[in-house]
Amino acid sequence: MKLVLLGTGTSHGIPVIGCGCKVCRSSDSRNNRFRASALLLADIPGNCSDFNNPTGSVAGGFKEIVKWNKLVAQQKGTSLAEPMLVEECRNLSDKDKEMLCKTNILVDAGPEFRIQAIKSGIKKLDAVLLTHSHADHLHGLDDLRIFSSSKPPKRMIPEEDIETKTLEIYANSNTLADITSRFDYAFKPTQEGGGKPKINILPTENFSLENPLVVNNIQIVPVPILHGHLQDNGYAFIEELDGKKHCILYLTDCSSIPESSYSLIHKIAKVCQSGSISHLVIDALREKSHTTHFNFEQALEAAEIIKPVNTWFTHICHVHSHQEIQSYIDENLQKYPGLWEIKKTGGTIQPAYDFMEISC
């Protein structure tokens, strides 16, 4: 599986509106940060058929691409016959084919989600996970309508050929309550206009390590964290390959991790290969302390307890450049013997940047 970090910035993003600081003016692309969001991609065993030589009934990943091409044709107001669909599928880029036949799970949909989706080539979503309901993580929700349909458009494609999809969104109960308040039009009869997202919201309190949320072949375990006084969700993604489990842990917008969540994380680590989390993506706003976010020191302290193979800072503000953050880590790492040992044996402790990909 692979996690694409669509955004690694704090609520202002970088550059900040009206700011002339050296980070906001930086020519280093790693200092340009969208609001925090991520996309998990994972193979679905047996789902990617031979795209160039489909035989019999269209199946697997090829079938997903045919569905997508029909929807594209529908939006254009045209009709594609099956032979043309086959040719269209053959002409898709390798990146499009990969995206369409994999599991695609989005974490948070902030104000720049449309731009992030276009830049990363998102063609479908299987599920959406929300960490919490602050604007920088939620206010791109309306753009999810392109991945769902509240009513099949009245165009050339016969209605029976259109798969009307409901997109499932998972979050804790507080976040779901905010969604129904801020995006109430999505849940009640209104005029169609430009359309609205057809979404099904589901509470994450129903899931645990013993009863994980399963999306295709990915197990997802919510990890409760605190964002100031706000109850927030981190997420552990677990994939099993060849009898071995691998895990990516995503903890953004975090000022405190309860002991019960540390205990849960250690249980997750025990079921994974070598007894370790492969990647930890963790909130690390700046060097100075903050009331609702980990600073660099607190992020390193949390990583020292979790002991992942690789640690990546996210939700970063414009006070420090990418290179300055790396220098801080390098200068202070010996204070954390567990992380220091991990680094010496090939592990990574670094600031993340937009569209960086981490895999396991």
CA distances from 311 to 249, 260, 279, 356 (A): 10, 21, 6, 13
pTM: 0.87
In 208-316, where do the E strands start and end? 213-215, 218-227, 230-241, 244-251, 279-283, 310-314
**Mean pLDDT value of segment 121-134:** 94
Instruction: Tell me, rounded to whole angstroms, the distance of Cα 88 from its chain centroid.
Output: 28
Least confident of 134-143, 147-156, 212-221, 344-353: 147-156
Instruction: Give SS3 for 128.
Output: strand
Least confident of 69-78, 213-222, 329-338: 69-78
What pLDDT digit, counting tens, does each position of 168-178 carry?
A: 999 999 999 99
As beta bridge partners, residue 316 has 9
Question: CA torsion sign, 54 to 57 to 60 to 63?
Answer: positive
What is the tens place of the pLDDT at every residue in 307-326?
A: 999 999 999 999 999 999 99
In 3D space, the residue among 272, 263, 346, 359 whose CA is nearest the CA of residue 309 turns out to be: 346
Q: Tell me, what DSSP letter sits at residue 34?
A: P
Average pLDDT, the chain: 87
pLDDT at 65: 56
Mean pLDDT, residues 28-34 taken together: 98
- pLDDT for residue 358: 98
DSSP class of residue 124 equals: -
Q: What percent of the chain is predicted at pLDDT more than 90?
A: 71
Phi, then psi, of 126 in degrees rounded to 5: -95, -25
In this prediction, residue 160 carries a pLDDT of 41
Q: What is the pLDDT of residue 152?
A: 38
User: What are 221's strand-pairing partners?
Assistant: 236
Bond before 15 cis per omega within 30 degrees:
yes
Question: What pLDDT does 63 receive?
Answer: 57
